[in-house]
Chain A
Amino acid sequence: MSASPPRPAGLADPAVRGQVIAGLERLVWAPQAGVGDWDRVEAIAVLGQLADPAARAALLRVLRDGARRIVPRPLGRWLRDTALDALLRAPDRGAADRALAGYYNFVARLLHGRLERHLVFDDIPLLVRSGRAGLLARAYLLPLIGLLFGGALLIDWLTAPGGLLSGRGPQDLGIWIAGPLFFIALGLGIFNLHQVGLVLLVARWGRQLPLPGVPGAGAVVLAGGLAAAAAILALGVLGSGLALASGVPISGPPPVTYWLLLLPLLVLPCYILAHDLEAGARQGLRGPAGIGAILSATALRIASGVLYIVYILVAYAVTFLAQLLAGRPGGTATVLAGLWPFLLYLALAPVLVLPVLAGLGWLQAQWAPAPGPGGVP
């Protein structure tokens, strides 16, 4: 005959709390028959109310792996998002913030090969609502900025006199490989950085501003047009930038500089339209219309990435030439340091575009027909 378990000493008995947490975890990950989906959601909410490191660890496990490993799949993502919400509402805010900072840490994500950029983007509205945008900035954006700087310094060191890629001969091959890789990495890194900023911007101000919306097939057509325009402009700027090598202007900034300034203005419209298309297409829209929307959104995302890469590359070329013409030729780091006006403009361009879009949205609202009897807007 087995002995009965010892009676708990009281509610504060850590053993009782530990058993409850373990039971709730089992309920979330391996529910027995009779446990409903909403029971699992509620179990996560209860874990969020327990101010206990083990409960936080349990929530973090769901946050990290719930979307991939919990079945059924639709529920897995819902449970994962619920775990995030529970952590954001947890009574011990400091401990929850530390746990979340570890989760979003860019370097850790890079090392584990789990950048999950879209997942991070999706979390931003929840983080902004709970006043935790700063947490994402510290954990995700700052390390990303640090890596960009570190990469720039590394390239500067490699291409400096005496560096691994500085000489002639076999090193030329290294330069030809490392150069494009550097600009692609730098462009995509800044793309990632900037897109997080855009999501933060729209999550914070988007609801207050009457941003325009294009319904139905019109959005797909507009997206195609916008992606094509962005790609053509980017390629044109790239071609002009490369042509600089054969025709250095005598004085003043080369004409390509002005074209270059157009590229960042397209970033916000591309982002908003791609987001709207993805959201619309993923809300149960199936068949060719849904695929068209997703493909258009993907084209817009790719075009946006190309915009960033071309912008950085051509801005680098323009800056290099400007320094050369000024008689102050320097290494990679010097040129990159000279990029700051372009980077500042890139960062601020969406803020310039936002009022224009809000104005368009306002006009659209004024001209929109009144709702019909069904009240459908």
Chain B
Amino acid sequence: MSGDPGQVRATDDPRRPFAVLAGPGAAPPARGGLTLSGYVAVQGPIITGDVTLAVPQAAQQEDEYLQALAAVYSYWRTEYIPGSAQGPRPFMPGDTDLMQRRRAALRPAADPASDILCRRPVALLDAITLYPRLLLLGGPGAGKTSYLQYLALQWTAPAPPVRGLLPVLVDLSAWDDLGPFPDFVAAFLRDPPNPDPWPTRYVASPWLAEGLDPYLRAGRLLLLIDGLNELPGALGPKGAARREHLQAFFRQYPAVRAVVTCRTLDYHNELDLAGFQTVVVDPWSEAQIAHYLQHVGADLLLARLQARDEVLLSLGRVPALLQMLIDLAADYRPPAAAAAAPSFLTSESALFKALVDRLLEWAAARDQDAARLFPRQVVIAALARLAGAMRAAGYRGTPVAHAWAVAHLAGDPQALLAGVPAPAHLPDDPRQVLLDFGCEATILDTPATRTTVRFWHLTHQDYFAALALQQTGPALPAGAPLPDEVARLAAVMAPHPEVTVADLLASGQPRAALLAGQILVSAGGAGGR
């Protein structure tokens, strides 16, 4: 029968996981294909042992899916903080290094522990063509998520780096049940946790969700898995169960290509046995900072860079922080004859403070009623309480139930109003209004269903958690398992960071010197000039 793609079977060859048996009555595949003795290897879309998809229809669905991806990820970079800095900001791939394992001994039985790990410069797109599975490690704000979106965009081009793959970007922080990983991916594709009202971060594809398994088995997907360090319940048994599901998934689907991101210091060898090749994202060099600043026309910052501003040289190494600086500098009007650095360029905490002010101003312009309702300091304090509670409860980068978030914004809803009587038109609990206001400011993030709330980015949550520590007590409580980022920011915000550094060094904790060094750098104590 014309158009019948024939019978299909799985093969043991990872390079050709599926083959179409050319039996009696079987026709060549409708798209692509290479006839070899007795069977035809499928190069186009998908036919599996259990399911035969109508190829032209699948091709059309794939095209539509890729177009949707292109629509989402080509505009995201220009809309980071709408209304502030002007001009396009295409993603600029930073340096990445391959962790290349080399044999040091020739004997077949030589201990792998005698191998060496070399740092080899590699472009991420080249690494993907060389290795089917990549683990992308980097610091906070290094651009890991942006890299994934950039990769997704590459596969919407006419000539992608590896042909025949459909990129699927999922966020592990949204994995809120304990089911198998493919079920999570399918649920994510059906109803991705996009912020409401905007912008779209993920592409919904019920079609792909329904036909996921054949694509996984055929190795036709490029899974872009964001935030291994943000796996819900990472430190507890639920996190362990999810990690086991993830490992089982990679064993079950050996043909699946994937890129998984994780913060460097939060990676604990979870994927070492799943065939992953490690690639690290490097901090930006001075030349890269200058190139990007020139590209976006950030003249003020370029001038500071040429003057070798130490804070800019330090913060600019982190692309997310540099992006914040650019947004703030775009609206900055320096006082006449003032040569000093802008206030947001004096330390990392000053940068975050200025950014939060900027975001709240922007939200106030969009929602003037809410802005009049809550004094800014009240909003900031409430968000800090929420972040502190989330940290204490182990929600780091992950969403919490909406009701839980409301309860932890303020014990007494009336306290949010700073003594002013609630307006008659106030529609609901003021805490609900404040949450929505936080979402307007893109500090918080909630889906259209309003069932959960999370911070827009983990760096935002860490900043507010550090603020909470400032408000509630000592910056570094002894023995508390504080995330490094929170502890570092809290110490930098303290009036005398050097005291925290000295206390840390005297504490004898094994990792104290590392945290002390990070605080020193962030607080402007790198020295030298």
Contacts and interface: CB of A to CB of B under 8 A. Distances in A.
Nearest to B104: A73
Interface stretch (A30-38, A139-147, A262-270): A30-38
B123 interface: yes
Contacts of A81: 118-119
Nearest to B255: A374
Interface in B26-60: 32, 34, 41-43, 46
Contacts, number: 237
A73 B505 contact: no
A64 to B, nearest CB: 16
A73 B219 contact: no
Interface stretch (A13-21, A183-191, A230-238, A301-309): A13-21
Given A73-B113, A373-B17, A373-B18, A126 B510 contact: no
B527 A282 contact: no
Contact of B502 (A16, A92, A122): A16
B96 to A, nearest CB: 11
B313 interface: yes
Q: B104, B115, B308: which has the most chain A beta carbons within 10 Å?
A: B115
A288 interface: yes
A52 B46 CA distance: 59
A374 B219 CA distance: 5
Contacts of B505: 19-20, 23
A13 B267 CA distance: 34
B16 A373 contact: yes
Q: B41, B313, B527: which has the most chain A beta carbons within 10 Å?
A: B527
Given A20-B501, A371-B164, A294 B521 contact: no
B14 A77 contact: no
Interface stretch (A4-12, A311-319, A333-341): A4-12
Contacts of A82: 119
B66 to A, nearest CB: 15
A17 B520 CA distance: 8
Contact of A16 (B41, B163, B218, B501): B501
B425 to A, nearest CB: 50
B113 A72 contact: yes
Contact of B43 (A8, A26, A36, A372): A372
B476 interface: no
A283 B32 contact: no
Contacts of B414: none
B516 interface: yes
A78 interface: yes
B191 to A, nearest CB: 28
Contacts of A285: 103
B527 A27 contact: no
Contacts of A46: 514, 517-518, 521
A375 B513 contact: no
B386 to A, nearest CB: 29
A208 to B, nearest CB: 12
Contact of B511 (A22, A39, A129): A39
A9 B498 CA distance: 8
A2 to B, nearest CB: 11
A11 B126 CA distance: 43
B337 interface: no
Contact of B520 (A45, A50, A75, A284): A50
Given A50-B528, A73-B104, A370 B512 contact: no
A284 B101 contact: yes
Contacts of B163: 370-371, 375
A43 interface: yes
A126 B121 contact: yes
A339 B458 CA distance: 65
A113 interface: no
Interface stretch (B182-190, B282-290, B394-402, B466-474): B282-290
A98 interface: no
A246 B243 CA distance: 77
B116 interface: yes
B351 interface: no
Nearest to A83: B119
List 7 tightest A-B contacts by C-beta distance, closest first.
A51-B528, A23-B513, A11-B525, A282-B102, A81-B119, A374-B219, A34-B510
27 contacts: A7-B499, A11-B501, A13-B498, A20-B501, A35-B511, A38-B264, A43-B514, A46-B518, A49-B314, A49-B317, A50-B527, A50-B528, A73-B115, A76-B116, A77-B116, A78-B119, A85-B97, A88-B285, A91-B526, A122-B118, A125-B121, A130-B285, A283-B100, A284-B103, A286-B108, A287-B108, A370-B43
Interface of B: 14-18, 32, 34, 41-43, 46, 95, 97, 99-104, 106, 108, 110, 112-121, 123, 126, 129, 132, 137, 162-165, 218-220, 222, 255, 257, 264-265, 267-268, 282-283, 285-287, 308, 310, 313-314, 317, 497-499, 501-502, 505-506, 509-514, 516-518, 520-521, 523-529
Given A91-B310, A284-B112, A371-B43, 16 more contacts: A5-B502, A10-B498, A17-B520, A20-B517, A27-B513, A34-B509, A51-B527, A82-B119, A85-B97, A92-B528, A130-B285, A282-B102, A372-B164, A373-B17, A373-B43, A375-B165
Interface of A: 5, 7-14, 16-17, 19-24, 26-27, 31-36, 38-39, 41-43, 45-47, 49-52, 67, 72-78, 81-82, 84-85, 88-89, 91-93, 122, 125-126, 129-131, 207, 279, 281-288, 290-291, 294, 369-377
